[in-house]
Structure 1
């Protein structure tokens, strides 16, 4: 119970997902033996090209090294920066200026071994290009905090990558793979998690909505994104499937209950819930119907704010409860 209470004080900046470790264990082990620093992006790219031949392995190697070695720069997070201005007279000059900016940002991130999402994504794209992969930086809106529940995308607060592998576009987020930010006085801690490497588009969508909808790679909409609950990393990592409720916001009505149906709970799993107003942890008794667990969360006058569902003392989903 004490461990659950502490979760209320954790600031979740980075969200984890479904693990692909068994598919890329050999690549990851090779990359873990790489130098902890490279002096320039060409040397990084040459190392990857020397060790790996397939598109997927090259992409994985770049992703893994960045996530293991680049620290999230909390001091730079949220700092307003002036837009980059280019001076050009032709389209060729414009493209050259943009390429120069990307190379400079990638090199800065590589040498300092710290950055925010744009630095992570730009470093991946620049090195990917140098190993023969087509990759782009995808700006968009993230869903990583209870305050995002019910809000339509448009914040433009995050950036990630799409990379073409064997003719098919794949999605990845090296920033969220690098670690977590926790504590009353936020501090970054490395915690490699490959859940957002080649995640299925419908899974990636749970926390990412691109400015250019072609990078959704799914038919989901802005309304779908706004209506989603907040899914934490443990939800994705453990393969849970919340059948209901499928929306993230509901209104408190005294005496009402919120019915939940969850697939893929394992024998012995425990389920708790808490509302942010009271921070009181309550255990539920669920019934199983095949592979679906069912339970209800009762509402009362104090059932407002964020409703968090925990499985095995780990947060898995969040909902907004209005008066």
Structure 2
């Protein structure tokens, strides 16, 4: 799965719900500026690159930020390579010898493409973050597991399909996803658009666990009960913009829901930053129509957003939650009498 095989010996001390808000007095302006100044650097000398990115910064969180920002701004997501790998892994999933041979071959292909073209997939992003961070004496690990997106067929999600990172800062572990933070690949054209998403940098583990399921349970970084794999597969679709507005999503628990006509339905999310009630939009689709509404019943208390809505007619509905133009989440509802 990963570009380079690792053996791990860890002693873990976890801070529960560690996230970027743990550093309220830290400005990442200088770190981001340094990362962009060296944007055209190649990967021929990782120790030198790590030094350039971190030597003028004073805290580990700033140094890691410069590394994270550089990788996410300088390395393209190669969706064509990702698709090829997934097809091969699916084809050989019941043939351990062929799967092992392909994994070994793919590691060489992916590593060569990363060094030569600065294009990669999730394992390449995670590997590069780990290497550059370790060279700066920052403890960082690769986390393998499962991830869900809106285009994914969950019926085929039977083997790990994604990798991300855990980084130790000030004695606490934090989660980040450089692949999803870097931008948006087009599954049809295979073109990639750089679009940095700050929400995937030191993300809150509560929202992270909705669409990331680590192969090793310890990497949930959750004190509360961890979601089961079934819960993970049944969860709503959470989009990248959710991470910029919210730290958690609690209701509805599932993507597919069955409700009664005129039954009160609650949407509940925990805010990272204040939002205006008038910016909350529900886009409701049926086979015959699509309409945007501003829900009448919205409550914002103690950074908790609650939206109440009821369907007045039976049928099948797709519901998309927006904050202004930012798509946050998607659900389906079968409404019965």
Tell me whether 122-131 or 50-59 shows the greater mean CA deviation.
50-59
Structure 1 residue matching 2:137: 3-state secondary structure? coil
Shift of 1:316: 1.5
Alpha-carbon distance in structure 2 between the residues aligned to 1:133 and 1:148: 36
- Provide the alpha-carbon RMSD of the alignment: 3.5
Equivalent in the alignment of 1:119? 124
Structure 2 residue matching 1:215: 3-state secondary structure? helix
Shift of 1:209: 0.8
Tell me whether 191-200 or 282-291 shows the greater mean CA deviation.
282-291
- The 5-angstrom pairing of residues 14-163 of structure 1 reads 23-38=27-42, 39-80=44-85, 83=99, 108-145=113-150, 154-163=158-167
Given that 1:258 and 1:299 are in contact with CA atoms closer than 8 Å, whether structure 2 keeps it comes out as: no
Alpha-carbon distance in structure 2 between the residues aligned to 1:122 and 1:64: 15
Distance 1:118 1:30, change over 3 A: same
1:273 to 268, 283, 293: 283
Alpha-carbon distance in structure 1 between the residues aligned to 2:150 and 2:177: 17
Equivalent in the alignment of 2:95? none
Equivalent in the alignment of 1:260? 266
1:245 equivalenced with 2:257 (yes/no): no
Pairs aligned (count): 291
Shift of 1:246: 3.4
Distance 1:148 1:106, change over 3 A: same
Distance 1:311 1:153, change over 3 A: same
Alpha-carbon distance in structure 2 between the residues aligned to 1:127 and 1:104: 21
Shift of 1:170: 1.5
2:172 to 168, 172, 187: 168
Given that 2:200 and 2:243 are in contact with CA atoms closer than 8 Å, whether structure 1 keeps it comes out as: no
Structure 1 residue matching 2:124: 3-state secondary structure? helix
1:221 to 208, 227, 232: 227
Shift of 1:152: 11
1:57-89 deviations in whole A, cap 9, x for unaligned? Answer: 222111110100111112212213565669xxx
- TM-score (structure 2 length as normaliser): 0.72
Given that 2:277 and 2:298 are in contact with CA atoms closer than 8 Å, whether structure 1 keeps it comes out as: no
Structure 1 residue matching 2:328: 3-state secondary structure? strand
Structure 1 residue matching 2:173: 3-state secondary structure? strand
Distance 1:226 1:121, change over 3 A: same
Alpha-carbon distance in structure 1 between the residues aligned to 2:35 and 2:189: 32
Alpha-carbon distance in structure 2 between the residues aligned to 1:163 and 1:209: 17
Alpha-carbon distance in structure 2 between the residues aligned to 1:211 and 1:262: 28
Shift of 1:104: 9.0
Shift of 1:47: 1.6
Structure 2 residue matching 1:268: 3-state secondary structure? helix
Structure 2 residue matching 1:133: 3-state secondary structure? coil
1:226-285 deviations in whole A, cap 9, x for unaligned? Answer: 3432222333312386554333321255x3445234466414324222236345123144
1:190 equivalenced with 2:194 (yes/no): yes
Structure 2 residue matching 1:76: 3-state secondary structure? helix
Equivalent in the alignment of 1:317? 329
Alpha-carbon distance in structure 1 between the residues aligned to 2:212 and 2:115: 25
Gaps in structure 1 of 5+ consecutive residues? 1-16, 87-97
Given that 1:139 and 1:211 are in contact with CA atoms closer than 8 Å, whether structure 2 keeps it comes out as: yes
